[in-house]
């Protein structure tokens, strides 16, 4: 009975997993470059850029992601700006995680010894080459652990798009649970989340070990 039920519901769960992974992938692809831009602005010599990026980070990190999703999809149409459900979800997630990644990358950039910059300047390297060839590569290596934590959190946060009516995995589980008056669908969804996060965790662990300074 249980096995047959699992086999019956798995196609629906996998359809929801597809939406979950799509949101995850698009968010990761867009938010990491945005995070780099934010980090550059946060460490800029320009007071205006630092202030603008600081306000952006404060808003994105200081308000719930769910509220940001609601404002983008339900609030912006009030001023004539509308998005379909999926783009609205991607925009909200990208803006939110861009702020978190920005702060992570900023800490990585700030951790680089200023002596390296001074040495590169003595050798005649331009500011652009110093940043992209010396500072940024080292910063990326140092921030892999906190970035990995954010990535695993992102997998779970994708469940928040239920508010937009997108058929992601948790929504599918809730609908099946209500329909069948059973907790089994939610347990199945929980197991799938665990498997996905375990896979990502192992991949990220391998990446972290590869770039570990002490190995």
- Give tens-digit pLDDT for 123-136: 777 777 787 778 87
Distance CA 102, CA 84 (A): 27
**Domains within the chain, CATH numbers bracketed:** 22-168 (1.10.3720.10)
SS3 25: helix
Q: What is the pLDDT of residues 79-94, one digit of tens each?
A: 999 999 999 999 999 9
pTM of the model: 0.88
Structure tokens at 8: 């019956």
Q: Are 155 and 168 in contact (CB under 8 A)?
A: no
Q: CA 155 to CA 152: how far, in whole Å?
A: 5
Chunked into runs of 10 residues, the chain (215 residues) has average pLDDT values of 80 91 95 94 92 96 95 94 94 96 92 78 78 80 88 92 87 88 89 92 85 58
**Are the beta carbons of 112 and 138 closer than 8 angstroms?**
yes
* Per-state percent for the chain, helix, strand, coil, to nearest 5: 85, 0, 15
Vertex 85: Cα angle to 17 and 90 (nearest 5): 70
């Amino acid at each position: 009975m249980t096995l047959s039920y699992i086999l019956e519901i798995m196609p629906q769960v996998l359809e929801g997993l597809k939406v979950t992974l799509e949101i995850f992938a698009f968010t990761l692809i867009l938010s990491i470059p945005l995070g780099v831009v934010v980090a550059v602005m946060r460490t800029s010599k320009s007071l205006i850029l630092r202030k603008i990026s600081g306000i952006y980070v404060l808003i994105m990190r200081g308000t719930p992601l769910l509220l940001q999703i609601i404002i983008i999809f339900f609030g912006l149409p009030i001023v004539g700006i509308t998005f379909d459900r999926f783009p609205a979800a991607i925009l909200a997630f990208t803006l939110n995680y861009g702020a978190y990644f920005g702060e992570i990358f900023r800490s990585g950039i700030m951790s680089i010894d200023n002596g390296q910059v001074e040495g590169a300047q003595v050798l005649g390297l331009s500011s652009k080459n110093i940043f992209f060839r010396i500072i940024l590569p080292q910063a990326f290596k140092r921030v892999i652990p906190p970035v990995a934590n954010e990535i695993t959190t992102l997998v779970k946060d994708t469940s928040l798009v239920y508010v937009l009516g997108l058929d992601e995995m948790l929504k599918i589980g809730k609908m099946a649970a209500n329909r069948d008056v059973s907790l089994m669908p939610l347990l199945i969804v929980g197991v799938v989340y665990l498997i996905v996060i375990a896979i990502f965790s192992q991949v990220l662990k391998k990446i972290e070990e590869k770039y570990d300074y002490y190995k």
